[in-house]
């Protein structure tokens, strides 16, 4: 090991530029560590030796230098010297090799217990050198730019989002070469793209692809962090998702493979949205691993309890929370986001536990500097921004409170749709129902109660609501209909993990069954859940595999299951193919008819001018075709409703959605005074969409509606 003092003469560095960047003759280096007393960049050579370069600083909290002779592919880390004063929030230890928070590439892996010496990573004050057990940051060049296909820029109202795991999607996909399965390149393979295009997807939302680490408790159980919500770097793509060939070539090839995937998806017209985790890191609680931020400036990066800096203020449930009240944390997140857009080419972001990102010392505020900076940034304000609008801290549920142009996951939609079709629908006992019809109506109309209170009112529109009934966290759509309780035994936590608020119903038998009557009811329930998602006003999101009836065997928290529990099973039975075709048909209708994908909230107008041939924008009707009234809405037994929507454009069809949420058939009358004929266009009661006969019904016609089903009619246009 050799130590090189700070350079006395060198090209002028840019101390405000963080990270390690290739410049003529070497690299510029910048790292934030305001409370450190010394900082070294440690470069590792092929023979295993280490050279430590002292950095200049701190200047406004930053350490910096120009280091000549460092080239692309160099492997490095940092060592920070400073006070060991946990009671004041300082945890400096130069024996800890630290990853670059701005590093664009990572090679190697974290030591896994019970390998010898691995405990050094868990002991903050240990004098054991952790370099042998740590991965390395890698100097990379910017992507070449040779593949920069223009971004698709799909408007929210035209978007159908598909949440999917890079590995699980193609791990067993037929037609994808073995060496590409479960990789970035596999996701961009023509067979994978064809599935997405056949389904009608516009935007893939990838579970975390920022480099991440497995938690120690999972390693002890022989499990891994499959979902990836344990960030190790906010700038480097997760190397294990790259092909073996790319990994062997190094971090630059991993970066290039990711960019190539994005470009191929863009060529197919598909957007790439990243699920990003800026609320916490893989360093977990104060007694856990020191990987990067804790060793550089624990007091700055992490939220601490006000009168006890040695204890973290954990509002994420992971052990630590990044402190977005500090400007440098806000800067790091914004710099990372711009990098993924401008250099890696992605189209948007879904922010995990986004309430954390708007927290100050007084709680959440939509005027937080990070949120203001994000929505006013000339680059970032032009991409898709989606919030998971909650965390586990006090005042953590913030649905509807994020600033424009954010859209938000709508858990009220998820819960009310599940309840209507399952717990108070198919799973109800007796004749008493909770009054869920008005709640369902609000969700179908775009959830203006949640997203309509902007200034001016309604400015965000219904597209601000990301409508979903399932996501990675929880049951799949199939399992919602096949399990009344969670089955997470494989996770090693005695089935204590995962939510108990599933609002699911097993239709009479827990788990798989050969009873065809029960299986038929389950399939109809799946179509009801997904159909409601796709036909409601707002932006629909599907969990990848729901269109195939994918099951996780009742596991509703498969975060640690990198195996057949989580991977797609592409050995499809006929009913699964039928389900896919039914959902694809519904998405095609949505794409073809603007009335099914409004951008703005419906005006609260029940009538139009007497001499106008046009319908109101929206209207609700009873089963007998008469207009809704307050007594009918407030009746807990109301389970059959009709929802009519219009663009008020005679060149475009209007839509009539009929829902029978009761457990018996219902006679339904097409509203008699509502204009022209209606074409029967989709029915959740049909297993196979090919069985749909496009009948034409006239105003005032009566038809028999199957129990627990929904139908879509489109008006006939001359």
Quick check: 497 and 557 in contact, CB under 8 A? yes
CA distance 421 to 623: 18
Burial of 212 (0-12, 13-18, 19+ CB in 10 A): buried
CA distance 268 to 261: 11
Report which DSSP code applies to 613.
Answer: -
Residue 164: name the closest of 491, 562, 567 by CA.
Answer: 567
Q: How far is CA 368 from CA 199, 356, 378, 692, in A?
A: 39, 11, 18, 51
CA distance 713 to 703: 12
Report which DSSP code applies to 358.
Answer: G
Helix (H/G/I), strand (E/B), else coil: 56: strand
CA distance 343 to 144: 9
CA distance 610 to 593: 26
Give strand pairing partners of 349: 274, 385
CA distance 65 to 57: 9
CA distance 663 to 51: 73
Q: What is the DSSP string of 85-143?
A: EGGGTEE--TTS-B--TT-SEEES----TTSTTGGGGT-TT--S--GGGS-EEE--PPP
Please name the helix (run of DSSP H) or strand (run of DSSP E) that holds residue 350, with its range, or none: strand 348-351
**418 φ, ψ to 5°?**
-60, -45
CA distance 332 to 209: 17
Residue 92: name the closest of 254, 381, 256, 298 by CA.
Answer: 298
Helix (H/G/I), strand (E/B), else coil: 683: strand
Token code pair at residue 381: 């304000």
Catalytic residue, chosen from 257, 297, 388, 439, is 388
Residues in Cβ contact with 495 at an 8 Å cutoff, skipping those fewer than 6 apart:
486, 487, 488, 489
Q: Is 50 a catalytic residue?
A: no
Q: Is 388 a catalytic residue?
A: yes
Q: How far is CA 456 from CA 404, 459, 461, in A?
A: 11, 6, 11
**685 φ, ψ to 5°?**
-75, -15
Token code pair at residue 640: 């059959």
Where on the phi/psi map is residue 26: left (φ > 0), alpha (ψ -120 to 50), or beta? left
Please name the helix (run of DSSP H) or strand (run of DSSP E) that holds residue 253, with its range, or none: helix 251-267
Residue 140: name the closest of 249, 235, 251 by CA.
Answer: 251
Catalytic residue, chosen from 275, 352, 391, 479, is 352
> In the 3-class helix/strand/coil scheme, how is 622-674 assigned residue by residue?
CCCCCECCHHHHHCCCCCEEEEEECCCCCCCCCEEEEEECCCCCEEEECCCCC
- Buried-exposed string 655-679: b where 16+ CB fall within 10 A, e elsewhere: bbbbbbbbeeebebbbbeebebebb
> In the 3-class helix/strand/coil scheme, how is 220-244 assigned residue by residue?
HCCCCCCCCCCECCCCCECHHHCCH
Residues in Cβ contact with 713 at an 8 Å cutoff, skipping those fewer than 6 apart:
655, 656, 657, 658, 670, 678, 679, 680, 681, 697
Report which DSSP code applies to 210.
Answer: B
What residues act catalytically? 352, 388
């Amino acid at each position: 090991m050799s130590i090189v003092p700070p350079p006395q003469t060198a090209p002028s560095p840019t101390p405000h530029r963080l990270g390690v960047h290739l410049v003529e003759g070497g690299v510029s280096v910048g790292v934030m560590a305001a409370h450190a007393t010394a900082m070294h960049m440690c470069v590792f050579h092929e023979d295993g030796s280490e050279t430590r370069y002292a950095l200049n600083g701190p200047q406004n909290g930053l350490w910096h230098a120009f280091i000549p002779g460092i080239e692309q592919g160099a492997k490095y880390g940092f060592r920070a010297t400073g006070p060991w004063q946990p009671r004041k929030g300082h945890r400096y230890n130069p024996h800890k090799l630290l990853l670059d928070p701005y590093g664009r590439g990572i090679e190697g892996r974290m030591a896994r217990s019970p390998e010898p010496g691995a405990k050094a990573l868990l002991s903050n004050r240990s004098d054991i050198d952790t370099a042998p057990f740590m991965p390395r940051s890698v100097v990379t060049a910017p992507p070449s730019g040779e593949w920069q296909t223009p971004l698709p820029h799909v408007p929210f109202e035209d978007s159908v989002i598909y949440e999917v795991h890079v590995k699980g999607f193609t791990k067993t996909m037929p037609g994808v070469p073995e060496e590409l399965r479960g990789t970035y390149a596999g996701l961009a393979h023509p067979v994978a793209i064809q599935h997405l295009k056949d389904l009608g997807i516009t935007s893939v939302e990838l579970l975390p692809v920022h480099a991440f680490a497995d938690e120690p408790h999972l390693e002890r159980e022989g499990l891994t962090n499959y979902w990836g919500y344990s960030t190790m770097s906010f700038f480097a793509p997760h190397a294990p998702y790259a092909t073996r060939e790319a990994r062997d070539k190094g971090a630059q090839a991993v970066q290039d493979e990711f960019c190539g995937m994005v470009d191929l998806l863009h060529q197919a017209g598909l957007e790439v949205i990243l699920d990003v985790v800026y609320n916490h890191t893989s360093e977990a609680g104060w007694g856990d691993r020191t990987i990067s931020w804790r060793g550089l400036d624990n007091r700055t990066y992490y939220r601490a309890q006000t009168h006890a800096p040695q204890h973290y203020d954990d509002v994420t449930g992971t052990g630590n929370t990044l402190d977005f009240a500090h400007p440098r944390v806000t800067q790091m997140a914004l710099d990372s986001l711009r990098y993924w857009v401008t250099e890696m080419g992605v189209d948007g972001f879904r922010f995990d536990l986004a309430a954390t990102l708007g927290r100050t010392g007084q709680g959440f505020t939509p005027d937080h500097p990070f949120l203001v900076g994000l929505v006013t940034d000339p680059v970032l304000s032009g991409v898709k921004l989606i919030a998971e609008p909650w965390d586990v801290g006090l005042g953590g549920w913030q649905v509807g409170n994020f600033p424009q142009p954010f859209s938000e996951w709508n858990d009220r939609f998820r819960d009310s749709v599940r309840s209507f079709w399952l717990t108070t629908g198919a799973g109800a006992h007796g004749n008493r129902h909770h009054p869920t019809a008005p709640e369902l109506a609000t969700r179908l109309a775009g959830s203006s109660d949640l997203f309509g209170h902007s200034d001016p009112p309604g400015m965000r529109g219904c597209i601000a609501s990301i409508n979903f009934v399932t996501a990675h966290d929880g049951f799949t759509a199939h399992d919602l209909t096949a399990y009344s309780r969670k089955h997470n035994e494989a996770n090693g936590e005695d089935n204590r993990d995962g939510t108990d608020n599933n609002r699911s119903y097993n239709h009479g038998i827990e788990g798989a069954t050969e009873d065809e009557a029960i299986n038929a009811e389950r399939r109809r329930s799946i179509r009801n859940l997904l159909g409601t998602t796709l036909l409601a006003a707002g932006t629909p999101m599907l969990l990848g595999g729901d269109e195939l009836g994918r099951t996780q065997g009742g596991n509703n928290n498969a975060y640690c299951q990198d195996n057949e529990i989580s991977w797609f099973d592409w050995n499809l039975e006929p009913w699964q193919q039928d389900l896919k075709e039914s959902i694809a048909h519904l998405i095609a209708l949505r794409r073809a008819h603007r009335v099914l994908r409004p951008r703005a909230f419906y005006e609260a107008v029940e009538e139009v001018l007497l001499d106008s041939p046009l319908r109101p924008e929206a209207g609700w009707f009873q089963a007998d075709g008469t207009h809704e009234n307050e007594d009918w809405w407030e009746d807990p037994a109301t389970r059959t409703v009709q929802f009519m929507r219009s663009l008020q454009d005679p060149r475009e069809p209007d839509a009539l959605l009929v829902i029978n949420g009761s457990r018996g058939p219902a006679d339904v009358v097409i509203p008699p005074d509502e204009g022209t004929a209606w074409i029967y266009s989709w029915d959740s009661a049909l297993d196979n969409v090919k069985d749909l006969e496009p009948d034409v019904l006239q105003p005032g016609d009566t038809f028999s509606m199957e129990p627990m089903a929904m139908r879509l009619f489109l008006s006939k246009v001359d």
